[in-house]
Chain A
Amino acid sequence: MNDRIKNILKPVGSLRITVVLLALAVVLIFCATWAQIDLGIWAVVNEYFRSLVVWVPIRIFLPRPAAGELARFPGFPLPGGYLLGAAFLVNLIAAHLLRFKLAWKRAGIFMIHTAIILLLVGEAITGNFAVEAQMPILEGRSSRWAQDIREVELAIRDPDKDVQNEVAIDHAMLKPETLLRHELLPFDIEIERYMLNCSVVRRSPNDPEPAQASRGIALQWRVHRIPDVTGISKQNVNYPAAIVRLTHGGQSLGSYMVTPHLQGHDDVAVLEQPVQVEGKTYLISLRFRRYYKPYSVHLIDFKHDKYTGTTVPSNYSSEVQLVDPANHEDRKVLIYMNNPLRYRGETFFQASFLKGDIGTVLAIVDNPGWQLPYLACTLGAIGLLVHFGITLTRFLKRTAK
């Protein structure tokens, strides 16, 4: 290695930088923990850990005048998880190139550091490519979709079509006073109001307050803005709502209130409201983001066993029929705690159940980097043992002399 490269690597691979990075990581975790008083767990993960830089409002460490009221200033910037992770990675590799020599006595250290690199890369893959969704299924019913309860989408369905029959608008586009116009949409959509979290109450027939929208379920239900879910609130999922005004060719089709709060009669899918456009019916809904699957899962039986004489659960299990015509798959599978099903690169965990034990909720995780943490931990453990063994042998040899 020539001196020029060494001169560049020397400051980059400095151990002082490692210590500073570790200290910053501790501060980041500390701030992120406090931030959960006002933000939901996934918002904190995205803002603090899956980001390059985060602005930390000082008021997260102070008593709040009211929940959720956080001023943007004053505050201070802090490197986010991705920036720290990338810096760690560069620092570690530079240090190896600069100081570490390939020798047997260093084998343990190499393994430990490789494990750390794998962990960092694994999180980068998980953070960017993993999809985690839930599949609720009633006993005796089948499902072909899973939903990510952290995101919503405004869906417009054409019940007369078999393919390309649903158009979904990402929640990022659902901003108030936005006009959504697209060739795939059968009508223009103006977002009048969007609430990140709401509760619903039934309107009484004599409600003096006017309905929030002119058509559909808004005539019977009203939504109220409530504080967003935080890391310490009892509720753990935000239920958004939107008031949308629909127009087609300059003609108003009325306004609709949409929310995933209101379910259809199958108890797991959100309520869809019919919209008439030139004699044709479309169905509109605001629902949790869906992932359609090329297979179906039929719930044969859900079990929620408890320890005798107590209400403490001893076992949750779902007996399902996995049907995938493309792969000639049609088999019974029992999914229970610590015994997930792995299929098509996805892992099906027993995650929860529907109230009254009438159905199951499976978590379906598609994480291309799922093996890396296992590999990293195994390699790290072996590396520690190897390093300890080498050091011990060296010590014993030295004392024997």
Chain B
Amino acid sequence: MLMLGAILMIGCDGDEAIRVYDAPPDEHEHEHEHAATAPQPPTAAGGSGMVRPITWQAPAGWQIQPASGSATRFATFLIGPADDPIDLTVVALPATNMSRSVLANVNRWLDQMGRERLEDVAQFDRYIKPIELPGLRALLVEIAGPPLDDEEEDGDPEQLMLAAIIQGPRLVWFVKSVGPYPVLAAERQRFASFVRSIRFPATTPTKPPISESSDVVTIRYQVPDHWHKDPQQRPMRLVTFIVEDGSRRADMWISRFAGSVGSPLMNINRWRRQVGLPGIDDLGQQATEDISAGDTTGSMLDLAGPKDAAGRASRLLIALFNTGNTKWFFRMHGDDQLVAREKETFVQFIGRVQFVEPSRE
């Protein structure tokens, strides 16, 4: 009986050593119902003749590589000199607000290249120019990096980034390459002609075209009389106001970020450390208040730090709002007593803030 039980449990190993499948001749048959035309595979590299969402004409000398690991990387080319080639990647992302936002993407690339971020779309001309693709919106981006030696601010750029953003029918496509300036500068024309050759066989657009301002919500606010605008532009800040009372001072500033800004616990601990408070392990240990900006509700933190040896303490007020994919931070930081006195004004200021959708402008 024991043996019978054991045999029952072992069961039969039905795995044949050699199996024969009737694999569907076209694994994307259903897709054919949606695709208007049969595409041409871009290049060999093992293409199995399946329907492809994008086609192109690769310039002579560009070597396509097998995609490895990344689920978003559609293709990789080796371009430039054969003995020291540079990667050129073709990446596809779903058409979300973040991926469609030219400003957000260009600012991310500017960070990578050590350049200052753009404040608004009016400054686009410095790096971006449109490129013609039939029925599609496409942009060419060229960013030259500063000299690697910081002391030579006016020297020749040493790095160059060539990129293109193309709104496909379902996905946003990014073509990008970064490398030594002289090498990539020599590839400019071929890069542009490669981008011009891009086609999407499934031509029915399902998403709106790229819009520089589609997710750029702006704000309107009224500044209290005793807050003075800081004329100096600060990185990461849209605007800074200064409140002074004798020797006491507090800064109030507004920042805007697209996409992820880190975990709430990480941010709260960073802010707590800023005023000299210890970190916390659980979000529940930090009290928050609800705060409203017009019809938008957010959260506010009031972090009062301990007094230092000189008997001074700092305080930080932070109000956080989400508008779509954008996070807004309103912060007031400075002398403990001054910030405590200004808290009511801060709350009133935020209460009158209006987040304005681009379409209403």
Chain B residues with CB under 8 A of A12:
1-2
- The answer to whether B67 and A52 touch across the interface, beta carbons within 8 angstroms, is no
Residue among A127, A144, A264 making CB contact with B11, cutoff 8 Å: A127
Residue among B18, B68, B93 making CB contact with A358, cutoff 8 Å: B93
Name the segment of B41-49, B136-144, B155-163, B212-220 touching the other chain.
Answer: B41-49
A114 to chain B, nearest CB (A): 16
- Return the chain A residue nearest B63 by Cβ: A220
Known: A86-B9, A358-B71, A358-B92. A170 touches B65 (CB 8 A): no
- The answer to whether A308 and B18 touch across the interface, beta carbons within 8 angstroms, is no
- The answer to whether B322 and A309 touch across the interface, beta carbons within 8 angstroms, is yes
A205 to chain B, nearest CB (A): 6
Interface of A, helix, strand, loop or mixed by DSSP: mixed
Name the segment of A158-166, A246-254, A383-391 touching the other chain.
Answer: A158-166
Task: Name the 4 nearest CB pairs between A and B, nearest first.
Answer: A128-B11, A86-B5, A356-B72, A142-B30
- The answer to whether A272 and B2 touch across the interface, beta carbons within 8 angstroms, is no
Q: Does B52 contact A (CB under 8 A)?
A: yes
- The answer to whether B48 and A272 touch across the interface, beta carbons within 8 angstroms, is yes
What is the CA–CA distance of A200 and B66 in the complex, to the nearest angstrom? 11
Q: Does B23 contact A (CB under 8 A)?
A: yes
What is the CA–CA distance of A12 and B143 in the complex, to the nearest angstrom? 80
Q: Does A265 contact B (CB under 8 A)?
A: yes
Q: Does A89 contact B (CB under 8 A)?
A: yes
Residue among B20, B27, B94, B96 making CB contact with A143, cutoff 8 Å: B27
Known: A83-B6, A309-B264, A310-B264. A298 touches B30 (CB 8 A): yes
A77 to chain B, nearest CB (A): 15
B231 to chain A, nearest CB (A): 31
Chain A residues with CB under 8 A of B82:
205
In B204-238, the 8 Å CB interface with A consists of: none
- The answer to whether A166 and B23 touch across the interface, beta carbons within 8 angstroms, is yes
- Return the chain A residue nearest B264 by Cβ: A310
Known: A90-B1, A139-B94, A265-B52. A129 touches B17 (CB 8 A): no
Interface of B with A (CB < 8 Å)?
A: 1-2, 5-6, 8-12, 15-25, 27-31, 34, 41-42, 44-50, 52-53, 65-75, 82-83, 85, 91-94, 96, 169-171, 202, 260, 262-264, 299, 320, 322, 327
- The answer to whether B17 and A169 touch across the interface, beta carbons within 8 angstroms, is yes
Residue among A139, A144, A206, A265 making CB contact with B27, cutoff 8 Å: A144
What is the CA–CA distance of A295 and B22 in the complex, to the nearest angstrom? 13
What is the CA–CA distance of A153 and B169 in the complex, to the nearest angstrom? 35
Chain A residues with CB under 8 A of B299:
309
Residue among B5, B92, B169 making CB contact with A90, cutoff 8 Å: B5
Q: Does A359 contact B (CB under 8 A)?
A: yes
Chain A residues with CB under 8 A of B19:
153, 167-168, 170
- The answer to whether B46 and A271 touch across the interface, beta carbons within 8 angstroms, is yes
- The answer to whether B20 and A166 touch across the interface, beta carbons within 8 angstroms, is yes
In the complex, besides A128-B11, A358-B171, 11 extra interface pairs with C-beta distance below 8 angstroms are A82-B6, A129-B11, A141-B28, A144-B27, A165-B23, A166-B23, A265-B47, A290-B23, A309-B322, A354-B72, A358-B92
What is the CA–CA distance of A170 and B19 in the complex, to the nearest angstrom? 8
A-B contact pairs, 24 of them (CB 8 A): A12-B1, A86-B2, A86-B6, A87-B2, A139-B170, A140-B31, A142-B28, A143-B27, A145-B23, A157-B48, A167-B20, A168-B19, A169-B17, A173-B18, A185-B18, A205-B83, A265-B47, A269-B48, A292-B24, A298-B30, A309-B327, A354-B72, A356-B94, A358-B92
Residue among A220, A311, A321 making CB contact with B30, cutoff 8 Å: A321
Q: Does A255 contact B (CB under 8 A)?
A: no
What is the CA–CA distance of A163 and B24 in the complex, to the nearest angstrom? 8
What is the CA–CA distance of A168 and B75 in the complex, to the nearest angstrom? 27
- The answer to whether B18 and A182 touch across the interface, beta carbons within 8 angstroms, is yes
Q: Does A357 contact B (CB under 8 A)?
A: yes
Interface of A with B (CB < 8 Å)?
A: 12, 52, 82-83, 85-87, 89-90, 93, 124, 127-129, 139-145, 153, 157, 159, 162-170, 172-173, 182, 184-185, 200, 202, 205-206, 217, 220-221, 261-269, 271-274, 283, 290, 292, 296, 298, 302, 308-312, 321, 323, 354-359
What is the CA–CA distance of A141 and B21 in the complex, to the nearest angstrom? 22
- The answer to whether A283 and B46 touch across the interface, beta carbons within 8 angstroms, is yes
Known: A217-B66, A266-B50, A358-B171. A162 touches B21 (CB 8 A): no
B51 to chain A, nearest CB (A): 8
What is the CA–CA distance of A302 and B28 in the complex, to the nearest angstrom? 18
- The answer to whether A170 and B24 touch across the interface, beta carbons within 8 angstroms, is no
- The answer to whether B72 and A263 touch across the interface, beta carbons within 8 angstroms, is no
- The answer to whether B322 and A308 touch across the interface, beta carbons within 8 angstroms, is yes
Chain B residues with CB under 8 A of A266:
50, 52
- The answer to whether A265 and B31 touch across the interface, beta carbons within 8 angstroms, is no
- Return the chain B residue nearest A357 by Cβ: B94
Chain B residues with CB under 8 A of A127:
9, 11
- Return the chain A residue nearest B22 by Cβ: A163
What is the CA–CA distance of A272 and B18 in the complex, to the nearest angstrom? 19
Known: A262-B66, A262-B67, A310-B264. A323 touches B30 (CB 8 A): yes
Known: A142-B31, A265-B52, A292-B23. A82 touches B9 (CB 8 A): yes
Most interface-central of A142, A143, A167 (chain B CB within 10 A): A142
